[in-house]
Chain A
Amino acid sequence: MGGEPEPGKRWRGRLGPLLLALAVPFLAGGCWDRVEIIDRGFIAAAAVDAVPGGYRLTVQLVLPQSLPSPGGGGAGGGGAGGGPSVAVLSATGATLAEAASRMDEQVASRLFWGQTRLLIVGQALARRGIGEVVDFLVRNRESRLRTDLLVARGEAAPLMAVAPPYRDIPADNIYQELRKNLAPRLRAFEAAIRLREAGRGFLMPALAVTRPGPSPASPSTGAERRVTLPANPALDGAGVFVGGKLVGWLDGRLTRGALWLEGLGSGGTITLPYRGRPLSVLVERAQVRRRVLLAGERPSVRVDIEVDDTIQEVHEGELDPGRPELLRQLGESLAREIRGRALAALAATRRMGADVYDFGRLFAGRQPAYWRRVYTRWPQIFRSLPVEIRVRAVVRSPGRLVESLQLPR
């Protein structure tokens, strides 16, 4: 403390500015960025449609006060046990931001994009291109880069209004469905990356409303009371995009096939014929190795798929652990099945000229010189790109039951 002034001075010197710095913002009515949590309008999910002259934004706005009370007791909780805890709002504007700000005027709270998990794009808009939507999401400081993008088969807005009673926040339902890894997921940042590269294809999970209608009469309560199963937005295949524009659809089966080529096939159930009866296996693990080959100017791709699985359901037939060739046969037919699906998906996307498997990306990384020559023509090259698919499927386990219960006649 050699050259320090006397203590009193030090005190003032150190704390004075600090206190002043703290006091001034308080007195000046500070806390500029403070927004109380109840003043935030949490957007759980949003849907965007193209309308003449701009966009229509429809959102599910969380109504915290109508969420069921967690402890059961407590005051308030108007919606406890009742309907969904969201309000559906809609607004239009020449840009998405304008629509959002118009919507902001409709509600008391300040719209908040930080908890938005889903953004659904209407079919018409998807055909026009999703660049602006992704731009809005990524540029917005609040929003998540992990917001899942979906494409609606038809208009997107009605999907916001469908509220199956499984969860308090209807959009959560779709989100949980997505999480199960059975669909291609496309997050905002992934879309942004893919949009950045000209002509790149990608898949976007598609959404449609299923209306199962009334259930059959319940036997216990008599014939009169019928339970109506709710309408439910459900995943339904995927939309195929090239350069940010929707160019076609894949149904659920083809979508799974396309996922195989990307190495995302695990977790699903595959049913294949086994001695004339259906047999289901559960895919436990799938590994995909993709290699690009270039012979002169002739590119080709080789995809090696390795699958481990477990038998889930056997209707009839013999599964004798003493006869491993049976399991091997099963593995072979499973491999054929997977290969068939993958090829079907490949054929479908080829027709659309959409390289949704990022084969082009592989060439760009591994064969940069070739890629620089051809990248403008890639969609055409992709249409006729030879793809060799090799599948090796191993049935790891017959499940918790060795033989079929009904032995063959």
Chain B
Amino acid sequence: MREDWGLSDLQLLFLSFAVVAPTAILTLPRALALLAGQDGWLAALLALPAGLIPLVLLWDLDRRYPGQTFTEQARQALGPLLGRVAAALAVLLFALLAVVVTREVTDAVHGENLPRTPLPVVVLLVLLAPVSVLRQGIETLARWAEILLPIGLVLLFLLVAGSLRDLHPDYLLPVLGHGWTPIWTGAVQPASFYAKVFALAYVLPFRGDGRKGAFLAAAAGLFAGAVLLALTAAVTVALFGPLAASLPQPVFEAARMISVAEFLAHLDAVAVAAWLALGLTKLALVAFAFVFALADLLQLEEYRPLTLPGAALTGVLAAVEFRSTAEFQIWVFIFWPWVALALCILLPFLVWSGAVLRGRSGRRGRTGGTGRGGRPGRARTAPSPSLPPGGRS
């Protein structure tokens, strides 16, 4: 039996899918409908390169510095000082991302189901499961994602199936009725979400199999996410036509509208369930990137001690940073996409260009990792699924 299994390609696919998929339910369909009208689904597909750029950069970085995390790569490519700055920026990015995702998940639950419950309590509720999983390590997280994501997807497809008879494909016409301009403007939003696969920079080194498979899996997950997003964008427009742009969370409204054989109706609790299944996974993943990047930056042996403080910080920020959902929505729509897009592409690009300038071919072995199959320092990895060496006596 192998000592440490690492993450299988399938798990990586799911994790990369988790970066994009949850938002496909929440705000993105509206943004697409608003900016690109009935061609939102096209914009969702066209934005795909934005996610592939960081992936390709990470792939090349991994070729040059096999098995190292982004922080280690940055330090080696840009030198200790600049590298640390880049890594710190990454930490900041993921911290913000964690706050935003927390707030997104919370807002959906809060607004849809628990409007009178104080926001901090909902934040706590939302953070509970991801934190508990995070403390069990990346492998547990991956397994969790492997089960939760399909559940969320199944629920989502049930919702879509339930609203099939209300679909008016006519609303999707005309294709390209307003030319390409609105599509490009609309593509910025999904692009910023795809670019966040950069968070996988801290997950990919845990892969159990080859580099090629891992990155292909990540790309496939991204693609699946884009397809899902295109699908929900198309479905919401086909359902609501010109109204789609006015509904804050069209998928939730679709659920509110469902009536299956006059028996099950108003299924927004199911929509929230689907959203939670997907959203919690994304939250756990992003929080992992944040905490792990921070631990890596501080050169700690273990990321776990940072989990609770990190979660507490995230929770507090998510609860107090934005006074209202409306304010948060504006911020998320106007400001955040550009920041995220820029950072997620610029950071790996900077490190990559540093590496290119240093002319590292990637053939020579590095001493940064442990050198065992390009795995990052063992102490930081997840508890191996093999025999616990001395868990208890």
Contacts and interface: CB of A to CB of B under 8 A. Distances in A.
A266 to B, nearest CB: 15
A222 interface: no
Contact of B170 (A141, A197, A361): A361
A14 B132 contact: yes
B241 A193 contact: yes
Contacts of A13: 135, 308
B118 A197 contact: no
Contacts of A193: 240-243
Interface string A95-135: 00000000000000000001000000000000000000000
Contact of A189 (B116, B242, B257, B379): B257
A365 B173 contact: yes
A4 B173 contact: no
B124 A21 contact: yes
A134 to B, nearest CB: 10
Contacts of B132: 14, 18
A390 interface: no
A162 to B, nearest CB: 24
Interface residues of A, number: 32
Interface stretch (B13-21, B45-53, B207-215, B385-393): B385-393
A101 B97 CA distance: 40
A362 B302 contact: no
A386 interface: no
Given A14-B135, A146-B259, A361-B170, A7 B392 contact: yes
A366 B241 CA distance: 15
Contacts, number: 86
Interface string A361-390: 110111010000000000000000000000
Given A3-B301, A18-B128, A33 B135 contact: no
Contacts of B114: 32-33
Given A1-B383, A144-B266, A196-B242, A364 B174 contact: yes
B115 interface: yes
A365 B173 CA distance: 4
B321 to A, nearest CB: 21
A183 interface: no
A2 interface: yes
B117 interface: yes
Contacts of B262: 179
Contact of B378 (A1, A2, A14, A114): A2
A27 to B, nearest CB: 12
A145 B301 contact: no
A1 B388 CA distance: 6
Interface in B247-266: 253, 256-257, 259, 262, 265-266
Interface size class on chain B is 35 or more
A370 to B, nearest CB: 11
A78 interface: no
A20 to B, nearest CB: 10
B174 A365 contact: yes
Given A30-B121, A145-B257, A4 B170 contact: no
Given A3-B304, A196-B242, A365-B174, A32 B257 contact: no
Q: Is the interface of A mostly helix, strand, loop or mixed?
A: helix
Contacts of A189: 240, 243, 253, 257
A62 interface: no
A17 B315 CA distance: 14
Given A366-B173, A368-B177, A32 B253 contact: no
Contact of A145 (B171, B253, B302, B389): B253
Contacts of B259: 146
B106 to A, nearest CB: 14
Contacts of A146: 257, 259, 265-266
B112 interface: yes
Interface in B286-321: 301-302, 304, 308
A365 B174 CA distance: 4
Interface string A2-22: 111001000001100110010
B185 interface: no
Interface string A196-214: 1100000000000000000
Contacts of A81: none
A114 B253 contact: no
Nearest to A15: B132
A146 to B, nearest CB: 5
Nearest to B257: A145
Given A3-B301, A145-B253, 9 more contacts: A2-B379, A7-B392, A17-B308, A25-B121, A144-B265, A146-B259, A179-B262, A193-B242, A196-B242
22 contacts: A1-B383, A2-B383, A2-B384, A3-B301, A4-B391, A7-B392, A17-B308, A21-B125, A25-B121, A32-B116, A33-B114, A33-B115, A141-B112, A179-B262, A189-B243, A192-B243, A196-B243, A196-B246, A197-B242, A364-B174, A365-B170, A365-B174
Interface of A: 1-4, 7, 13-14, 17-18, 21, 25, 30, 32-33, 114, 141, 144-146, 179, 187, 189, 192-193, 196-197, 361-362, 364-366, 368
Sorted from nearest, which 10 A-B pairs have the closest CB atoms? A365-B173, A1-B391, A368-B174, A145-B257, A368-B177, A32-B116, A32-B117, A196-B242, A193-B243, A1-B388
